[in-house]
A and B are shown apart, each in its own frame.
Chain A
């Protein structure tokens, strides 16, 4: 199956422009970039996609073994770039996709020209002196929250399964783009929150921008600083935006930070 269909790849912008690929994080799908991606359409070839298991991707392509580690997702990303024949790609990865981006760049450095890591966290679970922000019990609680919600949502999906034309049809849209198969969501959560990619950071070989939000409960400042220190020659930008999703809460600031960095002489100067 074509990866374009498998990952519901959407392309817009200038066909001859520099490719910019947006990778969504854990939780929802490519819609997350709705307020940011259009700002690059004037001078970039904009590529959006859904990770397998999320949004409009082909759920039948979900293979628990392949997606049992972040490398499976990184391989998909490389496949997308190859199938679209992209090069010098600006890869913008949010949250867990920042780490997927690290693995993709490592697997195929020739495809990528720049990496933007939005709210990265290479290891969520605290480990000795390293503070990732979470204990194992926290992650267990998160998996619990996921269960609690997906059960409710599965019930809400019942009318949809019964067919169109029902009065509940409008309800169908409720929570839809964050909805997926509960088992896939659970495994993606495990892979996201139980991975340790700290050792991969020093191997990043393209210019890298780390965007750090304020008051981010999922990717604390200290973690962003750690990533910046570990990725050679990376640029660190502290955003005023709060929370874990600056592309939603402060799209203008996010866009401007990326654009400003891309305008720099390749943004290669260590901050």
Chain B
């Protein structure tokens, strides 16, 4: 043993032989004896010094009352039971509460002395000061906690990021962000508000309120208050980072409404997290921290009410990162959705084009188009057309069958009057697209014609409207009006562009169809007027005539027939002809031919002479089309018959069972370049009871069979119907040879001698 410095052997000896009392009083640990209830009956000087109290003060005092409150609880719930059960406790950490308010961390060992019956008599305890050790332990624990929390955070972040990567819709992103952020910082509620996309030019910025995409755990009153805050929330977040907005005097002054609702809902603080993409704010995540409990639990918060929960730096970092990640995810999803929408728009326009190329009339086209437009492009589609009778609304469709009756009302009752603020009228008057981005109550009141119209508008619950004029070569044809409902969201600029492209397609189809219909109507009216009236009764003859227009589209024929009794000699002139072409010109030429034919009949020329005169005067008539024709002259009394053909099909003669085509040699067509020989005339007799059938090629020609097959079929049908009168014969021929679908006009003339 080395000598202790500054102490001689005698001194050392004295110290070693120290009396037990001194050893007890000045030991390097606190000594404490107490009754089982905790009343102190003996302490050493070391403990008195550590506890900053005199021995007199300590004697009779309660040991637990010297401890901090936490220590006192621990003493009651752990220290005492352990002592009672085990008879001893070791290394229990308890803190002494010092008179000056500070604490002295200690480790306590204690034993319980018992009497013979096992009842506790005395507790002896030693206390060791453990300030440094406790500081070390605390640091260790804090490091452990930080590591654990950091791991929890990075797990939460990792999970949220991988879920964001898997999100395929804006709604997905919103839900992942709200749930991820709530869980990460144990917030009671959260909601994501999206700022409106790029403001359209010419509009006041910040007018459109942020849109709530997803929320959980935010009460309705608070949600309403946050929405009312609206665009001002945008300003709150523009400065950048994550912000905690505690309920306090500042907020009460700046946003008294919000502060009142927060107080009523026991919300302690809002945490505002900007959602940014490429440095631009795209949305705002609002987290709600309530005064009672963390993470929506039922437990009392350790935070004093009204002090607001501060956010740990690591939590703020986590939220900032989440906000940025969500912004990127939103950007990606938007791009994806825009691409998908673009593809859908292209497919829609293609389908529309296909549909319109197949449609027949104007009415059918617009009705089918309206059916296509909802719900793919809009929820409501109205098509107004300008006709000779004024405005009509041939199509009105709603995507929701339950609301179709409203569209029907718009079509049947509430056609907008000319003039006024209605978007359809404005589009028509201005010749430009009218885009109503936001349908408000005030707007509806302005355009409504009456209360019932206003009621219909309200029931439709529209959020946006686009009216596009239908124009062709500067002429206004009508208006295409599209409406969107809440679920669809507002129309975008791209939607409007599709509507305009659609309107262009519709305009072309409607224009073409309208022209064609007009022409068809005109031609048919013209043709009806150009054909002769029903032939007069001729004694000795039974005559039947038929004229059937082609069944498809606007085709107009140049076919004609004529039956003219000539009073001078009692004969009857017959004619059947076919002007080349199926249009209004053909009809006009036919009319002229028939008139000239009647004029020529004044001199009673023979059939071949009629052809010759037509050929000779063709140039003078100035007709633009050639024609085939068969002319005849019949004497009802004798049956004498003469025929001449200008390129026309030979007539059919039915005599009892005998059915034959007469061999009338055709000369050149009327209007064809001159040929050297004059027309040749066929002469014969039509016996009593026989029937002569004159016809145009529409009866025997079809798109599927050649003319010889048609002629053979005509003969067969005629033979089968040989006993029939002219009227019945005509009906049977038309029914069996042409059916309902005639590609060409048919003129048919049957004459029987009776």
Binding site for B on A (CB under 8 A): 25-28, 31-32, 34, 68-69, 95, 123, 125, 134, 136, 138-149, 151-152, 156, 173-175, 177-178, 190-191, 194-196, 215-218, 242-245, 248-249
Q: Which residues of B contact A191 (CB under 8 A)?
A: 299
Decide if B70 is an interface residue (CB 8 Å cutoff).
yes
Q: Are A175 and B92 in contact (CB under 8 A)?
A: yes
Q: Are A152 and B78 in contact (CB under 8 A)?
A: no
Q: Which residues of B contact A27 (CB under 8 A)?
A: 76-78, 81
* B120 (CB) vs chain A CBs: closest residue: A249
Decide if B72 is an interface residue (CB 8 Å cutoff).
yes
B717: min CB distance to chain A, Å: 90
* B307 (CB) vs chain A CBs: closest residue: A136
A-B contacts, 14 listed (Cβ < 8 Å) = A26-B77, A27-B76, A68-B297, A68-B299, A136-B300, A142-B74, A145-B68, A145-B94, A147-B141, A149-B78, A149-B92, A195-B298, A218-B77, A245-B81
Q: Are A34 and B85 in contact (CB under 8 A)?
A: yes
* A134 (CB) vs chain B CBs: closest residue: B69
Q: Which residues of B contact A195 (CB under 8 A)?
A: 298-300
Q: A28-B77, A141-B68, A147-B138 are known; give 6 further A-B pairs, CB within 8 A.
A: A27-B78, A148-B95, A174-B90, A243-B76, A248-B81, A249-B37
From 24 to 40 in chain B, residues with beta carbon under 8 angstroms from any chain A beta carbon are: 36-38
Decide if B485 is an interface residue (CB 8 Å cutoff).
no
Decide if B303 is an interface residue (CB 8 Å cutoff).
yes
From 69 to 111 in chain B, residues with beta carbon under 8 angstroms from any chain A beta carbon are: 69-74, 76-78, 80-82, 84-86, 88-95, 105, 107
Q: Which of B77, B82, B84 contacts A175 (CB 8 A)?
A: B82
Q: Which of A25, A145, A177 contacts B85 (CB 8 A)?
A: A177
Q: Are B69 and A69 in contact (CB under 8 A)?
A: no
Q: Are A143 and B70 in contact (CB under 8 A)?
A: yes
Q: Are A145 and B71 in contact (CB under 8 A)?
A: yes
Q: Are A245 and B64 in contact (CB under 8 A)?
A: no
The A/B interface has a contact count, at CB < 8 Å, of 131
A169: min CB distance to chain B, Å: 15
A28 to B95, CA, bound (A): 20
Sorted nearest first, the 4 A-B pairs with minimum C-beta distance are A27-B77, A141-B70, A142-B70, A145-B70
Decide if B151 is an interface residue (CB 8 Å cutoff).
no
Q: Which residues of A contact B81 (CB under 8 A)?
A: 27-28, 32, 178, 245, 248
Q: Which residues of B contact A244 (CB under 8 A)?
A: 76-77, 80
Q: Are B70 and A136 in contact (CB under 8 A)?
A: no
Q: Which residues of A contact B74 (CB under 8 A)?
A: 142, 145-146, 149
* A191 (CB) vs chain B CBs: closest residue: B299
A197 to B91, CA, bound (A): 35
Q: Are B93 and A145 in contact (CB under 8 A)?
A: yes
A95: min CB distance to chain B, Å: 8
How many B residues touch A, CB cutoff 8 Å? 44
A248 to B82, CA, bound (A): 10
A174 to B109, CA, bound (A): 11
Q: Are B94 and A174 in contact (CB under 8 A)?
A: no
B100: min CB distance to chain A, Å: 17
Q: Which residues of B contact A174 (CB under 8 A)?
A: 86, 88-90
Q: Are B76 and A245 in contact (CB under 8 A)?
A: yes
Q: Are B37 and A148 in contact (CB under 8 A)?
A: no
Most chain B CB within a 10 A radius of its CB, from A123, A145, A190, A195: A145
Q: Which of B73, B107, B299 contacts A145 (CB 8 A)?
A: B73
Q: Are A25 and B77 in contact (CB under 8 A)?
A: yes
Q: Which of A28, A138, A151 contacts B137 (CB 8 A)?
A: A151
Q: Which residues of A contact B78 (CB under 8 A)?
A: 27-28, 149, 175, 178
User: Contacts A156-B91, A195-B300, A217-B64 hold; do A249 and B76 have CB atoms under 8 A apart?
Assistant: no
* B105 (CB) vs chain A CBs: closest residue: A148
Decide if B663 is an interface residue (CB 8 Å cutoff).
no
Q: Which residues of A contact B301 (CB under 8 A)?
A: 136, 194
A201: min CB distance to chain B, Å: 16
* A251 (CB) vs chain B CBs: closest residue: B84
Binding site for A on B (CB under 8 A): 36-38, 62, 64, 68-74, 76-78, 80-82, 84-86, 88-95, 105, 107, 134, 137-138, 140-141, 297-304
Q: Are A248 and B80 in contact (CB under 8 A)?
A: yes
Q: Which of B36, B88, B141 contacts A151 (CB 8 A)?
A: B141
A11 to B632, CA, bound (A): 128
A173 to B78, CA, bound (A): 14
* A197 (CB) vs chain B CBs: closest residue: B298
Q: Are B93 and A243 in contact (CB under 8 A)?
A: no
* A95 (CB) vs chain B CBs: closest residue: B77
* B90 (CB) vs chain A CBs: closest residue: A174
* A34 (CB) vs chain B CBs: closest residue: B85
A218 to B141, CA, bound (A): 27
Q: Which residues of B contact A123 (CB under 8 A)?
A: 300
Q: Which residues of B contact A139 (CB under 8 A)?
A: 70, 302
A177 to B81, CA, bound (A): 10
Q: Which residues of B contact A148 (CB under 8 A)?
A: 93, 95, 105, 134, 137-138
Q: Are B38 and A194 in contact (CB under 8 A)?
A: no
A244 to B64, CA, bound (A): 12
A30: min CB distance to chain B, Å: 11
B69: min CB distance to chain A, Å: 4
Q: Which residues of A contact B88 (CB under 8 A)?
A: 174
Q: Which of A25, A68, A216, A249 contacts B36 (CB 8 A)?
A: A249
A141 to B89, CA, bound (A): 21
A142 to B76, CA, bound (A): 12
A262 to B299, CA, bound (A): 34
Q: Which residues of A contact B64 (CB under 8 A)?
A: 217
User: Contacts A28-B81, A136-B302 hold; do A243 and B70 have CB atoms under 8 A apart?
Assistant: no
User: Contacts A27-B78, A175-B90 hold; do A125 and B300 have CB atoms under 8 A apart?
Assistant: yes
Q: Which residues of B contact A196 (CB under 8 A)?
A: 298, 300
User: Contacts A175-B92, A178-B82 hold; do A217 and B76 have CB atoms under 8 A apart?
Assistant: yes
User: Contacts A27-B77, A142-B70, A248-B81 hold; do A243 and B37 have CB atoms under 8 A apart?
Assistant: yes
A173 to B68, CA, bound (A): 27
B485: min CB distance to chain A, Å: 40
A127 to B647, CA, bound (A): 116
* B85 (CB) vs chain A CBs: closest residue: A31
Q: Are A140 and B302 in contact (CB under 8 A)?
A: yes
Most chain B CB within a 10 A radius of its CB, from A31, A134, A144, A216: A144
* A183 (CB) vs chain B CBs: closest residue: B148
Q: Are A217 and B73 in contact (CB under 8 A)?
A: yes
A156 to B70, CA, bound (A): 22
Q: Are B137 and A69 in contact (CB under 8 A)?
A: no
User: Contacts A125-B300, A146-B74, A217-B73 hold; do A245 and B80 have CB atoms under 8 A apart?
Assistant: yes
Q: Which residues of B contact A245 (CB under 8 A)?
A: 76, 80-81, 84
* B94 (CB) vs chain A CBs: closest residue: A145
Most chain A CB within a 10 A radius of its CB, from B62, B77, B88, B297: B77
A28 to B662, CA, bound (A): 127
Q: Are A69 and B91 in contact (CB under 8 A)?
A: no
Q: Which residues of A contact B95 (CB under 8 A)?
A: 145, 148
Q: Which residues of A contact B85 (CB under 8 A)?
A: 28, 31, 34, 177, 248
Q: Which residues of B contact A248 (CB under 8 A)?
A: 80-81, 84-85
* B304 (CB) vs chain A CBs: closest residue: A136
Q: Which residues of B contact A146 (CB under 8 A)?
A: 70, 74
User: Contacts A28-B78, A139-B302, A249-B84 hold; do A242 and B69 have CB atoms under 8 A apart?
Assistant: no
